[in-house]
């Protein structure tokens, strides 16, 4: 039976990515960012997305918030951090590209990403995304 968990992710003052799930803190020493990361639970795993120091967008997953694997580096770049959301049957990654255009890309497994959509809106800051319904 699945249990509910809360997760927090942040970029430390040393640019290292950190994740806290319950009382378990994990610093992902091999990854750095100048921007805040994004988190989402999807298909029984926790997903972390971030913009690397080389501006490339990255996603990786963990079954427990401590053991991280399946890193994917996307071919897209950004000057700011991304947003990530569970959309039910897919995981959405929203980001402002280096051209400041808002982009949405999705994955059904957290590894293969596609169906990229570029919006007619621009931003030079980190976007936010929410999935849900109004009452």
Using the structure block, give the residue that is written with the tokens 């402002």: 96
Please tell me the pTM assigned to this model.
Answer: 0.94
Q: Are 58 and 73 in contact (CB under 8 A)?
A: yes
Asked if residue 131 is part of any domain, the answer here is no
Q: Are 127 and 85 in contact (CB under 8 A)?
A: no
Q: What is the pLDDT of residue 1?
A: 37
Asked if residue 112 is part of any domain, the answer here is yes
Asked if residue 45 is part of any domain, the answer here is yes
Residues of the chain with pLDDT under 50: 1
Taken in order 134, 48, 113, 124, the sign of the CA dihedral is positive
Q: Please report, for the domain that includes residue 64, its CATH number.
A: 2.120.10.70
Q: What is the pLDDT of residue 93?
A: 98
Q: What is the pLDDT of residue 135?
A: 83
Asked if residue 99 is part of any domain, the answer here is yes
Asked if residue 133 is part of any domain, the answer here is no
Q: What is the pLDDT of residue 39?
A: 97
Asked if residue 130 is part of any domain, the answer here is no
> What SS3 state is found at 63?
coil
By residue range, what is the domain housing residue 104?
7-122
Per the structure, the count of domains in the chain is 1
Asked if residue 106 is part of any domain, the answer here is yes
User: How are beta strands 56-62 and 69-77 bridged, if at all?
Assistant: antiparallel
Asked if residue 129 is part of any domain, the answer here is no
């Amino acid at each position: 039976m699945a249990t509910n968990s809360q997760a927090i992710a942040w970029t430390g003052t040393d640019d290292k990515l950190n994740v806290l799930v319950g009382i378990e803190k994990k610093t992902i020493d091999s990854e750095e960012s100048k921007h805040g990361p994004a988190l989402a639970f999807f298909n029984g795993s926790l997903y972390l997305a971030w913009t690397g120091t080389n501006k490339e967008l990255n996603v990786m997953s963990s079954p427990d918030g401590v053991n991280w694997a399946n890193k994917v580096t996307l071919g897209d770049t950004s000057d700011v951090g991304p947003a990530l959301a569970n959309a039910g049957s897919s995981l959405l990654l929203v980001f402002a590209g280096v051209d400041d255009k808002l982009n949405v890309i999705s994955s059904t497994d957290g590894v293969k990403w596609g169906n990229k959509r570029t919006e007619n809106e621009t931003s030079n800051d980190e976007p936010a995304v929410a999935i849900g319904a109004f009452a």
